[in-house]
Amino acid sequence: MTRYKAPSVPIDSLSLSVIIPCYNELHTIEEILAVVLEQPTVKEVVIVDDGSTDGTRDILRRLQTELADQPVKIVFHEHNRGKGAALVTGFQHASGDVLVIQDADLEYDPREYIDLIRPIAEGRSPVVYGSRFLGGPRKAMNFWNMIANKGLTLATNLLYNAILSDMETCYKCFRREVVEGMNIRARGFEFEPEFTAKVLKQKIRIYEVPISYNGREYEEGKKIKWTDAPIALWTLFKYRFVD
């Protein structure tokens, strides 16, 4: 039993804030924002530029003016602080009932927000993950990336008595009260295991839905590297035994 248990409500009664952490996404940020704004479920978009140096900031400053009548907030970090830090800033600026994380590339499809929100609206769980390993269409990912994902997810399940299929997914959707008061220390990609660990330690059972995945290559700008895997594993162990 969780204190976040909620009755079923109409999906359109929930306001959705989309949090987009962004670092050096010159070629994709404008396109992904346009797709996000097309979704009828979206009530607010919060973009956090994490010290981009490739011209992304210039695009975002232009969009601030062009989209002045749209529900878009753009926040700038003066220096690169990492994905986790950008997400914490985004959470602080979001006002929706439900929050969803959206990467600034084109790997994840915003048209699937409705599938992420539905279990929350139905009262099944306050936290929903979009899984790349539950049978949805996907572009073949790098073998060793898949092994790292599977290994970290297995460690999560063993340490926290869960049955997740994709802990490292970007698509994490949750009621805002889940993250309110959560002291997130992660500054980089270790956000994923820290957030998951702290959700599971609250005895919340995470609901998963299948999503599509169009993974990009490193030469296309993919940023997570194999060196992030041992950091994520250490994070899982650390928060299993430390508050």
Token pair for 6: 């909620």
What CATH topology corresponds to 13-241?
Spore Coat Polysaccharide Biosynthesis Protein SpsA; Chain A (3.90.550)
Residues 116-148 pLDDT 10s: 999 999 999 999 999 999 987 776 667 777 888
Mean pLDDT of 209-238: 77
Mean pLDDT of 169-193: 94
How do 98-101 and 207-210 pair as beta strands?
unpaired
Please state, in angstroms and rounded to a whole number, the distance separating the CA atoms of residues 31 and 35: 6
Question: Which has the higher per-residue pLDDT, 50 or 187?
Answer: 50
Task: Please report, rounded to a whole number, the percentage of residues in the chain having pLDDT higher than 90.
Answer: 80
Residues 64-106 pLDDT 10s: 999 999 999 999 999 999 999 999 999 999 999 999 999 999 9
Please state, in angstroms and rounded to a whole number, the distance separating the CA atoms of residues 151 and 25: 28
Instruction: Work out whether the CA dihedral 234, 214, 178, 180 comes out positive or negative.
Output: positive
Q: Output the pTM of the full model.
A: 0.91
Q: Where are the domains of the chain?
A: 13-241
Q: What's the per-residue H, E or C state across the chain?
A: CCCCCCCCCCHHHCCEEEEEEECCCCCCHHHHHHHHHCCCCEEEEEEEEECCCCCHHHHHHHHHHHCCCCCEEEEEECCCCCHHHHHHHHHHHCCCCEEEECCCCCCCCHHHHHHHHHHHHCCCCCEEEEECCCCCCECCCCHHHHHHHHHHHHHHHHHHCCCCCCCCCCCEEEEHHHHCCCCCCCCCCCHHHHHHHHHHCCCCCCEEEECCECCCCHHHCCCCCCCHHHHHHHHHHHHHHCC
Token pair for 224: 């997570």
Residues 194-220 pLDDT 10s: 999 999 999 999 999 999 998 755 454
Whether the per-residue pLDDT at 1 is higher than 50: the answer is: no
Q: Is the Cβ–Cβ distance between 134 and 213 less than 8 Å?
A: no
Closest CA to 99 of 182, 17, 187: 17
Q: Mean pLDDT in the chain?
A: 91
Whether the per-residue pLDDT at 60 is higher than 90: the answer is: yes
